[in-house]
């Protein structure tokens, strides 16, 4: 293989790799504004200049292809002088508003200036060219044109990734300005990524702006639960509240991007309507009961109905929003402990289209993160989607007397469905897991407060069969439980071995039983997941 030497370190490279790409791979940092690993090379900012032996002038490392035997210096006096020159040039007209800029703490310009800057300005502050500020371009982004370093990342993202072509430069010289034509809104479904790719504070997030300084955030790697793509994300929180979601790089799933719907989905976790206490039906509403009492009463109801009418009079509907571990314990509980044949999967809109690429970028029709995992574990919806009418049909045909739901969706969607309302009149026990306070007339006897994906550990299997880990990012209230915990407690209440297993232990038990997962252990699932052979 061909070799290159960068700052005295010899490295092999693939034909076509640029000097900067090889340097990144071996841990040598070269400053850059315009280069982004998931965008086409532009070579327009000149920040990444390096000295290459036998080349008469400095070269831009992002767009200079590595050649066998090349000897490169990234921090020689000539390089440092050039980088300082570029910074001085960029900062001639940059507003020095770092104290009030939302990008502070994650701004390339701030960081590079601290490393390479000429700390005394040679231009009087009053001579700076002023450009337009605080342009609200749609729901996701705010543009401060005078902070722009003209790197063109936003232009290339909208040209090549979304194909929506919103951004462009106008004017010449130090009047050059980034913007959209007539300040048109940027309403492509991936606009939030522009905030991540803008290396300075020119494009900031309408939602996150001025919420908190980024160095106060706790960052947890996880997976977006909003569709079956399973984009890798960071969940960032402060004081027990999720403040923002950011994409986490995974070359095989989402590269550097996430969609806006997924990005904003964190609001549900902080929603004021969250349910934090178990409930029992009381008259025309609900009364709060302890979690232990809910387990006791729920288990007793199922036991009574099984002995009075038969095990097959219980219908259990799982949620494809649950983790593999949740769904495995759901299956274990209803197949092995309750022993009912009526086990199904709810909320599976779009599962029939799971093999169709709905959006050339990331988004998929199936709004659930784990439909494939549920199927592999053996929980399937009969007809693609479990509608309220279909549930009513199953209840009527089989004389169902107890309904157990891992999510209240069916009841919510069926609130106006007369067939479901009629069928539920014959059902003696309805037990539901819910993240939100139910309406007082919801037909349920016991409601368990369930944890969000940001408050639980486990794994999802995405549409392509990739198993990826989620990790608890915020501490949940003591009375809120993950689906897995509720099923473990129900199993134990009805005669289980009393074990309370962690997510890794449940996964390893699952892998021993479900053949599709048999080749992997929890410890094999790295930060970017493991691909199952489907």
d(CA 352, CA 329): 25
Does 43 sit near ligand FES (CB under 6 A)?
Answer: yes
Nearer to ligand FES, 156 or 476 (CB): 156
Which residues in 323-362 contact ligand SF4 (CB under 6 A)? 362
Please tell me the count of residues contacting ligand FES according to CB under 6 A.
Answer: 12
Q: How far is the CB of 162 from ligand FES (least distance, A)?
A: 22
The whole-angstrom separation of Cα 348 and Cα 78 is: 60
- Does 451 help bind ligand SF4 (rule: CB under 6 A)? no
Q: Does 153 contact ligand SF4 by CB under 6 A? A: yes
**Which of 34/245 has CB closer to ligand FES?**
34
Chosen from ligand FES, ligand SF4, none, partner binding at 47 (C-beta under 5 to 8 Å by type)? ligand FES
| 209 in contact with ligand SF4 (CB under 6 A) | no
Tell the smallest beta-carbon distance from residue 469 to ligand SF4 (Å): 15
d(C-alpha 433, C-alpha 102), whole Å: 39
Residue holding tokens 């309507």? Answer: 273
- Burial-class residue 78 by CB neighbours within 10 Å (0-12, 13-18, 19+): middle
Kindly provide the residue ranges of all beta strands, DSSP E only, lying in 297-377, ordered along the sequence: 314-318, 342-345
If phi > 0 it is left, if psi is from -120 to 50 it is alpha, else beta; for residue 505 that is alpha
Closest CA to 223 of 181, 258, 187: 258
Of 154, 186, 195, 429, which lies in the binding site for ligand SF4, with binding defined by CB under 6 A?
154
Site for ligand SF4 in 179-198 (CB under 6 A): 197-198
Q: Counting contacts by CB under 6 A, is residue 469 touching ligand FES?
A: no
Judged by CB under 6 A, the residue of 13, 33, 291, 453 near ligand FES is 33
Q: Which of 259, 269, 315, 343 binds ligand SF4 (CB under 6 A)?
A: 259
**Crossing angle of helices 108-116/77-91, nearest 10°?**
130
- Please report which residue ranges of 399-448 form alpha helices under DSSP H: 409-413, 418-424
Q: Classify residue 534 by burial, with Cβ atoms within 10 Å: 0-12, 13-18, 19+.
A: exposed
Contact call for residue 150 and ligand SF4 (CB under 6 A): yes
Interaction of residue 6 with ligand FES, rule CB under 6 A: no
Q: Choose the binding region for ligand FES from 42-50, 68-76, 223-231, 424-432 (rule: CB under 6 A).
A: 42-50
Do 426 and 497 meet the contact criterion of CB atoms below 8 Å apart?
Answer: no
Residues paired with 11 in a beta bridge: 4
Characterise 270 by phi-psi region: left (phi > 0), alpha (psi -120 to 50), beta (else). alpha
Residue 62 sits in the site that holds ligand FES (CB under 6 A) = yes
Binding-site ranges for ligand SF4 (CB under 6 A): 148-154, 178, 197-200, 202-203, 224, 226-227, 229-231, 254, 258-259, 261-262, 362-363
Binding-site ranges for ligand FES (CB under 6 A): 32-35, 43-48, 60, 62
């Amino acid at each position: 293989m061909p070799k290159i030497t960068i700052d005295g370190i010899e490295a092999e490279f693939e034909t076509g790799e640029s000097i900067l790409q090889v340097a990144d791979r071996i841990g040598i940092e070269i400053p850059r504004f315009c280069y982004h690993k998931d965008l086409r090379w532009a070579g327009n900012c000149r920040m990444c200049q390096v000295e290459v032996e036998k080349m008469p002038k400095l070269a831009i490392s992002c767009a200079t292809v590595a050649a066998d035997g090349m000897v490169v210096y990234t921090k020689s006096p000539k390089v440092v002088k050039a980088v300082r020159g570029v910074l001085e040039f960029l900062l001639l007209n940059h507003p020095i508003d770092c104290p009030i800029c939302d990008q502070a703490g994650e701004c390339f310009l701030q960081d590079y200036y601290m490393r390479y800057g000429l700390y005394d300005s040679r231009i009087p502050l009053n001579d700076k060219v002023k450009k337009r500020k605080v342009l609200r371009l749609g729901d996701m982004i705010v543009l401060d044109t005078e902070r722009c370093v003209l790197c063109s990342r936003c232009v290339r993202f909208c040209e090549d990734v979304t194909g929506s072509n919103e951004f462009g430069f106008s004017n010449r010289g130090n009047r050059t300005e980034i913007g959209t034509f007539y300040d048109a809104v940027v309403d492509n479904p991936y606009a939030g990524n522009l905030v991540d790719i803008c290396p300075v504070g020119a494009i900031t997030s309408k939602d996150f702006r001025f919420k908190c300084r980024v160095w106060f955030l706790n960052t947890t790697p996880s997976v977006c639960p909003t569709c079956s793509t399973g984009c890798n994300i960071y969940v960032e929180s402060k004081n027990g509240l999720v403040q923002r979601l950011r994409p986490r790089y995974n070359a095989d799933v989402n590269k550097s991007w996430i969609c806006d719907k997924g990005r904003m989905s964190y609001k549900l976790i902080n929603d004021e309507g969250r349910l934090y206490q178990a409930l029992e039906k009381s008259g025309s509403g609900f009364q709060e009961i302890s979690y232990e009492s809910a387990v006791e009463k729920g288990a007793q109801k199922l036991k009574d109905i099984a002995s009075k009418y038969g095990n097959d009079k219980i219908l259990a509907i799982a949620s494809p929003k649950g983790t593999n571990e949740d769904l495995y314990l759901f299956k274990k509980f209803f197949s092995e402990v309750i022993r009912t044949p009526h086990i199904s999967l709810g909320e599976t809109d779009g599962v029939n289209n799971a093999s169709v690429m709905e959006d050339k970028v990331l988004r998929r029709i199936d709004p659930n993160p784990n439909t494939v995992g549920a199927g592999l574990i053996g929980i399937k919806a009969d007809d693609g989607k479990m509608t309220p009418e279909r549930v009513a049909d199953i209840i009527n045909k089989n004389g169902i007397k107890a309904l157990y739901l891992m999510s209240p969706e069916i009841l919510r969607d069926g609130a106006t469905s007369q067939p479901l309302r009629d069928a539920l009149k014959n059902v003696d026990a309805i037990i539901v897991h819910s993240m939100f306070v139910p309406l007082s007339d919801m037909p349920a006897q016991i409601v368990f407060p369930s944890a969000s994906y940001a408050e639980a550990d486990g794994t999802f299997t995405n549409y392509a069969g990739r198993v990826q880990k989620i990790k608890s990012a915020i501490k949940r209230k003591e009375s809120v439980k993950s689906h897995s915990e509720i099923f473990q407690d129900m199993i134990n209440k009805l005669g289980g071995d009393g074990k309370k297993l962690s997510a890794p232990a449940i996964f390893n038990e699952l892998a021993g039983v479900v053949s599709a997962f048999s080749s992997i252990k929890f410890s094999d699932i790295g930060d970017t997941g493991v691909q199952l052979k489907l």
